[in-house]
Chain A
Amino acid sequence: MTNGWVDIKNADVVLVMGGNPAENHPCGFKWAIEAKKTRNAKIVSVDPRFTRTSAVADIYAPIRPGTDIAFLNGIMRHAVATGRFHEEYVKIHTNAPYIISEKFSFNEGLFAGYNAEKQEYDKTQWAYEADPKTKAYSVDHTLQHPRCVFQLFKKHIDRYTPEMVEKICGTPKDQFLKVADMVTSTGNAKRVGTVLYALGWTQHSVGVQMIRGAAMLQLLLGNVGRPGGGVNALRGHSNIQGATDMAGTFEILPGYLQTPRAELVDLKTYLEKVPPKTLNDEAWASMNYWQNYPKFMVSLLKAMYGKAATKENDFGYEWLPKVDGNYSWMYIYDDMYRGSSTRAGGTEPAPEGFITFGMNPVGIGPNTPKTLAALAKLKWLVVGENYEIETATFWDSKKTEKYGGLPSAQIQTEVYQLPCAGFAEKDGTFTNSARWLQWKWKAVDPPGNAKTDQEVLARIFLAVRDLYKAEGGALPEAVLNASWAYTNPASPDLGEVLKETSGKALADIPDPKDPTKILVKAGEQLSGFGQLQADGSTMCGNWLHSGVYTQAGNIAQKRDNADPTGLGMFHNWSFAWPANRRVMYNRASADAEGKPWDPTRPGISWNGEKWVGDVPDMKPDAPPGQFGAFIMNAEGVGRIFAPALADGPMPEHYEAIEAATDNILHPKVTSNPVSKKFKSDKDLYGKKEDFPIICTTYRLTELYHYWTEHTAALNQLQPGFFIEIPEALAKEKGIENGGRAKVTSARGSIEGVAMVTKRLRGLMVDGKPLWHIGFPIHWGYQDDPKHAGPLANFLTPTAMDPNTWTPEFKTFLVKLEKGSGDGTPRT
């Protein structure tokens, strides 16, 4: 979230798309209700299903699964066409005036620079144009230059008329316009609106571009940086934000620093190539905060390798793994299944072992038959969990044969199941969607032999280190030099880990304003990332979390609910990264002079000497006009045109990888041209002729992922798997409510209880009726037999977003029949 949960109460309009917070975030959703009760705010729900959120929304509009970009582009076109956007904001806080390279173009569904063979773009063709004289960015503040971002953007979205939106999305024009009018009513200084989204946007082959669409819309309406505004990702698990911050995926190190690649041979090269450079050198210049990258990186290396990291050895940079291939989920499983990895150009062996904690690969990955077959090729598998989950018994063909699992006798994998503590059985922090690191205290001891994750990992690490000491091995330095300075090395105290994450001084840090004084004494905790040094005199496990554990103690434990702002910022409640800032980009909440757009909802304001209000997202004493509002962007402004993503600088409507219809905008380019398919014999993709119905998957309030279906009280509330089917479609297929239905994709078939409902309806798409159905994901073969249900991902394809490699769970193709009642799933 750019803003936070409580901040939703400050909104006038709450647009919920690609999410169903009433269902999946009921406690956070209270703030949308609060806005409704106290400000008469309007909740707008755009969803393929009439959901629990839609039930309490003021406006609902149906949309065909996967077509949100067309809808968002349509709203933006409506905003520009009717003048309902925040022009002053757009001029000063976005890149609308910036001029783009002559090389940029968009034709027939493809942006300039497309390489059809590699399915990749050459992004340099979308670059900003540098002024030949000043070498700085070329800008046209009148927004008239034909190659300025605003004009390119206007041209790009011009095709998305309300009629076109209806043709693509199936949303009746009048309902679309009702939404568009409500959302664009915030395109001014007086009003403000927020956008809430979740996996309904991320889990598409165009997922990142959907979110880009929301970011552009919010910039256009002047809603980014303002209390009650922003683009707000509702994270799916209690600590998924924390996991991402701490390098949850292969391409990042903690704090979103880049994982080194082989060509970045040493620290110097890495620090030259990786941090973004700015062309700005004039007034309203960019702070380009990433220029501090060396401080973050060196402090991280000092945290990782301690005293072994010295200036002479590049602080241990060469011990970091270098990543040249794609090691995201589907690629790992593809390697595992095929038995080799060709990601880095050559051929390497596939992984022979796999360690999994706090997840359930058989449940969560797409295309279950491929997941099961891939796991069967492992030599060993370690599963650390509260329950015996599907992954731990993947070898049991009595359970898996209906999902295409191999006979048990053919599987040689050694499976180790380690009982692990649940969330209430250990201390630590949860980082919520609002970026708040909140300490939690252990409620009960783990049962039996169950151990905390940190103890399990620590013991494995210590044993591996002993083996390295005794026998040596590949790249021993990375293991032997790892800093492990915990009081109890076999079970590190998470308070100590948090201290390490937050950072401390390793030598006296002089005060930059007065070098005769000491800012931080050696051994003291730092107060924030502003004190980090690039010379090895500080260590910090994650610069973004710096300040969570200071000399004053563990800030994540703070629970003071005083709110002098009245805006729900609660600066003394836990710690919000970065720097305890509650609304990111809050410089944009004020105008060019530093006056809040809306004095009743100020983010920060300039008092003549400094910025006051929220923790400023700006140099605290930099007067208005000195720096652009978006300090993390090299150009210093918000991006309506983003020359950074894999699949284009502006969002374009593409059909899902399993496309239910032709792309009426450009028939030759149906789906995302840079989203790659997999090619193994297990990667089957369906065609609309064989599988004419769109299917989507989702979650329920009553259950949590693949976990709580082991809890009897919750099974009582949602006793089993079901398939939601529109009434007219059910009638056509002879399916009755409460009867059986069978859904088949190119991967297999599952059966379940039919829930025939008015909440899903067919939509007219380009003059033709299209149906969509859906089912929740929570069940599997390890549940209480009374409640066990089929694995939802048995049906989903190995299709993905090209930026994040997130699977396309939200739009795939199926056919629907009356169920036979004989149990089944089957391939």
Chain B
Amino acid sequence: MALQGLEIRQSSAGLRGTHTGIRNLPIVSKYIDTTICIGCKACEVACQEWNDLPLAQTEQVGTYQTMPETQSNYWNLIKFREVEPVEGFAWLMRKDQCMHCSDPGCLAACPAPGAIVQYQNGIVDVDPERCIGCGLCESGCPFDIPRYTVGSNKMAKCTLCVDRVEVGLEPACVKACPTGCLQFGDKSALLEMAAHRVGQLKADGFVNASVYDPPGVGGTGVITILKHGDHPEWYGLPKDPHVPTAVSFWKKILHPIGFISMAAVLVGLAGHFMAFGPKKPKDFSGDTGDNKKDGAA
């Protein structure tokens, strides 16, 4: 994982995360305008190709949707839904993926130090080396995103293409989107654009149009324009997502108490030890990537 280039804002089990104030990183966001998404799935393929994810086995079960849910090796998915508002009919298509919450439930729930991190720019990432495969992140996520890779027993999800973002590129899905319903950039600028688009929709008679940026999770790093903003559930989005109470209790109340926190860390490390045996933590100043290559050299 590419951790060096970005400062970490917060990290699971609270081991790291200091705002040095040295770098001034804007909060980034992905912008999804569901009102002009045509469900072409270019984003699905782009994600798979950029991240070198293997092909999934799928079968036709009576839907245009590629598979029922995102998977550990399929990080974004257009969800197709047929709904009947009071007037007319709508075929809604929304790109489902990690929402990169400002207050990430997965990170709060994770007991493995540094396995889930949030960078200063808002991207929520997973460090598989530190992930112990315990599954608690799943219970912390109000959007039901984290998934486990069978075999390696690690959690994986959309990284918002942090490796591209770091070098000034947009995420692969955004690059591939033919209609421009996906955008990427500084969240404050995208919120302005979103407000303009919502204004257009309201003027067109969709009085409930809104930007989905739920405050219950502190806002998200993926903001979504909904024509039927009063019914996010029609799009497969929770109406008022919150980090589950137990998780926030853990994170906000218990966690600061050093002793219990320490105990949790030990539990996490014990889990890690049981799963993988003794292993020295990586030195972050060194090459964390291609060890095989180093070994061969």
Closest approach, in angstroms, between the C-beta of B54 and any C-beta of chain A?
10
Contact call A55/B39, Cβ cutoff below 8 A: yes
> Taking the complex as formed, is A27 at the interface, i.e. its CB lies under 8 A from any CB of chain B?
yes
Given known A-B contacts A702-B41, A716-B66, A58 and B204 have beta carbons under 8 A apart: yes
A20 to chain B: closest residue by CB: B38
Contact call A26/B179, Cβ cutoff below 8 A: yes
Contact call A26/B42, Cβ cutoff below 8 A: yes
Contact call B91/A30, Cβ cutoff below 8 A: no
B90 to chain A: closest residue by CB: A55
CA distance A753 to B59 in the complex (A): 10
Contact call A27/B91, Cβ cutoff below 8 A: no
> Taking the complex as formed, is B248 at the interface, i.e. its CB lies under 8 A from any CB of chain A?
no
Contact call B60/A712, Cβ cutoff below 8 A: no
Given known A-B contacts A29-B178, A55-B90, A56-B36, A754 and B62 have beta carbons under 8 A apart: yes
* Contact of A27 (CB < 8 Å), options: B36, B62, B178, B203: B178
> Taking the complex as formed, is A721 at the interface, i.e. its CB lies under 8 A from any CB of chain B?
yes
How many B residues have CB within 8 A of the partner chain? 37
A753 to chain B: closest residue by CB: B60
Contact call A759/B60, Cβ cutoff below 8 A: no
Contact call A758/B36, Cβ cutoff below 8 A: no
Contact call B39/A52, Cβ cutoff below 8 A: yes
Given contacts A37-B200, A737-B63, 13 further A-B contacts (CB under 8 A): A30-B179, A33-B180, A33-B181, A34-B180, A37-B197, A40-B203, A52-B39, A52-B93, A701-B38, A702-B40, A716-B56, A717-B66, A758-B84
Contact call B91/A738, Cβ cutoff below 8 A: no
> Taking the complex as formed, is A756 at the interface, i.e. its CB lies under 8 A from any CB of chain B?
yes
Residues of A within 8 A of B (CB): 22-23, 26-27, 29-30, 33-34, 36-37, 40, 50, 52-56, 58, 60, 701-702, 712-713, 716-722, 737-739, 753-759
CA distance A702 to B37 in the complex (A): 15
Closest approach, in angstroms, between the C-beta of A83 and any C-beta of chain B?
26
Given known A-B contacts A33-B179, A50-B89, A717-B44, A722 and B62 have beta carbons under 8 A apart: yes
* Contact of A55 (CB < 8 Å), options: B44, B45, B93, B203: B93
The 9 closest A-B pairs by CB, nearest first: A738-B62, A22-B38, A720-B60, A737-B62, A55-B91, A738-B61, A719-B58, A26-B40, A26-B178
Closest approach, in angstroms, between the C-beta of B60 and any C-beta of chain A?
4
| Between-chain CB contacts (< 8 Å), 25 pairs | A26-B38, A30-B179, A33-B179, A37-B180, A40-B203, A52-B38, A54-B91, A55-B91, A55-B92, A56-B37, A60-B88, A701-B38, A701-B39, A702-B40, A702-B41, A713-B45, A716-B55, A716-B58, A716-B66, A717-B41, A719-B60, A738-B62, A739-B62, A759-B82, A759-B89
CA distance A437 to B45 in the complex (A): 29
Given known A-B contacts A54-B91, A55-B93, A58-B204, A33 and B36 have beta carbons under 8 A apart: yes
CA distance A29 to B40 in the complex (A): 11
Task: Report the number of A-B residue pairs with Cβ-Cβ less than 8 Å.
Answer: 101
CA distance A759 to B84 in the complex (A): 11
* Residue numbers in B under 8 Å from A718 (CB-CB): 60
CA distance A33 to B179 in the complex (A): 7
Residues of B within 8 A of A (CB): 35-42, 44-45, 48, 55-63, 66, 82, 84, 88-93, 178-181, 197, 200, 203-204
* Residue numbers in B under 8 Å from A722 (CB-CB): 60, 62
Contact call B63/A755, Cβ cutoff below 8 A: yes
* Residue numbers in B under 8 Å from A756 (CB-CB): 62
Closest approach, in angstroms, between the C-beta of B174 and any C-beta of chain A?
14
Closest approach, in angstroms, between the C-beta of A430 and any C-beta of chain B?
17
A761 to chain B: closest residue by CB: B89
* Residue numbers in B under 8 Å from A716 (CB-CB): 55-58, 66
Contact call B91/A759, Cβ cutoff below 8 A: yes
* Residue numbers in A under 8 Å from B93 (CB-CB): 52, 55
CA distance A233 to B16 in the complex (A): 59
* Residue numbers in A under 8 Å from B39 (CB-CB): 52, 55, 701
A757 to chain B: closest residue by CB: B82
CA distance A595 to B35 in the complex (A): 38
* Residue numbers in A under 8 Å from B45 (CB-CB): 713, 717
* Residue numbers in A under 8 Å from B200 (CB-CB): 37, 40
* Residue numbers in A under 8 Å from B84 (CB-CB): 758
Given known A-B contacts A40-B200, A754-B62, A757-B82, A701 and B40 have beta carbons under 8 A apart: yes
Contact call B55/A713, Cβ cutoff below 8 A: yes
Contact call A50/B179, Cβ cutoff below 8 A: no
Closest approach, in angstroms, between the C-beta of B92 and any C-beta of chain A?
8
Closest approach, in angstroms, between the C-beta of B28 and any C-beta of chain A?
22
* Residue numbers in A under 8 Å from B38 (CB-CB): 22-23, 26, 29, 52-53, 55-56, 701
